[in-house]
Structure 1
Amino acid sequence: MTRTGWNTDAPRDLGTGLWVGSTDARVVRAASAGGFDWACVDEQHGGAAGGRDNTDLIAAVRAAGVPAFVRVAWNRPELIGRALDSGADGIIVPMVDSVEQARAAAAAARFAPRGTRSFGPIRSTDALTAAVPERANEDVLCLVMVETVRGLDAVADIAAVDGVDGIFVGPFDLSLALGLDPAELLADDSEDSPLRRVVSACRANGLVAGAYAGSVERAVHLRTAGFTMIAAVDDLAMIARSASEAAAAAKAR
């Protein structure tokens, strides 16, 4: 696994990812090794993954040979720092509504003089992000989530914040905020649609345009809309679906 080029390729296309809700490292490693381009440990809505040390899950993703992201529970420097110290290659920060909040997230992900991240000599032995601050500052990716009307209105300014490497859309929260059904949000392909506004802001600033899909069908819609980093499925739903299909096939024979 190499990180070379993550911060130099434009437009940045990180491909198709796995959303991790399981807290069993064996399950996470097996699922991450299925051909995904990256995997993200969800500490916000990931059930038991929130509020625990997820170094083992991050290491499991990396053992599968793909970069590990963490969606932190909130935009707080101690949560961002802990995720990165645990070996995450990048963070996804929820509910970012303003330039000020975007700057805070980016600063928490970088060491001085670029940011405010605290440097500690004791790090995860599985960490791939370099212990050298200058190298770590270049390698870490910081993506902020636009999930509200206020965030959408400010998306062009948020995308221009130094240290923000991408914008990640939570389509379910965004559709709730806009008073839409998720299907309506995805189906709107007008030039000024909410999703295309996010993509345009990312393209204008050379950023990753990311989004959670949760299904292959929604992933296709998001890719068509121009998103370059898509969480296609989550691990637990994938396991449940595979088990159901295998059981049905076995019984049919």
Structure 2
Amino acid sequence: MNSRAEAFRAGAWSTLAGGATAEILARSGAAWVALDAQHGSYDQGGIERTLLGLGSSPVPVFVRVADDSAAGIGRALDCGAAGVIVPLIDGPLEAAAAAQACRYPPAGNRSWGPVTALVGRTAPDARRANDAVMCAVMVETRAAIGQVREIAMTTGVDMVFVGPFDLSLALGRDVDELLADGSADSPLAMVVRVCAEAGVRAGAFAGSSARADRLAALGFTDIAVMTDASLLATAAAAEVARWSNATP
């Protein structure tokens, strides 16, 4: 994927496999949907069922894979993911390996075998698949922040994606204090700056509207502004509270 435009995209994060929550998010108007197989309830079966069920969706569906293994990356893409978000990338060598796992030779080392073709759907040829795929790598460690420029410049990386909760833990800072740091040399400002210089997108997970606002103000181009679990919990609690105070 060669997505260099800087237009802001609000994404939706699905942690709850099954129950059609990803399908609901895909119809919400979000610019993209991510299935979380690292900290969400998506296993391989859940990824496959959801992606095949969303095959006709015009909204790009990404998978945050459980780790940076080439097998896991390839399997998610074989099932129809538009791209992957790869966690815990510490440096450019790991970023390059992730990018190569996303693409068929000669651009990478992905193995041919789309699951979509097994169920009667047309799979793109290798060249088109290589051009269309989105490889996002997560920076969420002290080592990654120290090499974020090199990571962003890595061939085949389309987006640097910040996990602010893990990053705040790694840096020994409160997550909201990290987000509130408006200095030019703050870790988050540096990520946005080097992404702009490298011509790649700057993504982040928010977890709340207030954090999404702050990330947008910092210049991030792709933000997971909502999750299925938080939307359901908030709406359910509000509705129960309303009826608890109702007069029969």
Q: Which residue of 1 aligns with 2:231?
A: 238
Q: For the structure 1 residues 61 and 250, does the alpha-carbon distance in structure 2 shift closer, same or farther, using more than 3 Å as the test? A: farther
Name the CA distance, whole Å, in 2 between partners of 1:110 and 1:245: 45
**Which residue number in structure 1 is paired with residue 5 of structure 2?**
10
Distance (Å, rounded) in 2 between the aligned partners of 1:25 and 1:37: 21
Q: Is 2:38 the counterpart of 1:41? A: no
* Residue aligning to 1:3: none
Q: Give the secondary structure class of the aligned counterpart of 1:34.
A: coil
Size of the aligned set, in residue pairs, is 245
Q: What code does the residue aligned with 2:26 have?
A: S
Which amino acid in the other structure matches residue 241 of structure 1? T
Counterparts of 2:120 and 2:225 in 1: how far apart (Å)? 26
Name 2:18's counterpart in structure 1: 24
Q: Give the counterpart of 1:96 among 62, 73, 89.
A: 89
> Residue 74 of structure 1: SS of its match in structure 2?
coil
1:86 aligns with 2:87: no
Q: Which residue of 1 aligns with 2:198?
A: 205
Q: Deviations over 1:139-182 (max 9, x none)?
A: 00000000001000000001111100010000000000000000
Secondary structure of the structure 2 residue equivalent to 1:174: helix
Letter in 2 for 1:106: A
Percent sequence identity over aligned pairs: 42
Describe the superposition over 1:20-72 as per-residue Cα deviations: whole angstroms up to 9, x where unpaired.
1111152221233222111100110013x135351222244555541100000
Partner SS, residue 118 of structure 1: coil
Offset from partner CA, 1:84-128 (integer Å, 9 cap, x none): 000000100000001110000000000000000001265354878
Q: Which residue in the other structure is 2:173 paired with? A: 180
Does the aligned pair in 2 maintain the 1:25–1:56 contact within 8 Å? no
Contact 1:20–1:46 under 8 Å retained in 2: yes
Backbone CA RMSD of aligned residues: 1.9
Residue 215 of structure 1 corresponds to: 208
Deviations 1:174-225 (A, max 9, x none): 0000000001110001000000111111100111100000111100000000
* Corresponding residue SS for 2:182: coil
Q: Could you tell me the TM-score, scaled by structure 2's length?
A: 0.92
Write the distance in 1 (CA, Å) between the matches of 2:82 and 2:150. 25
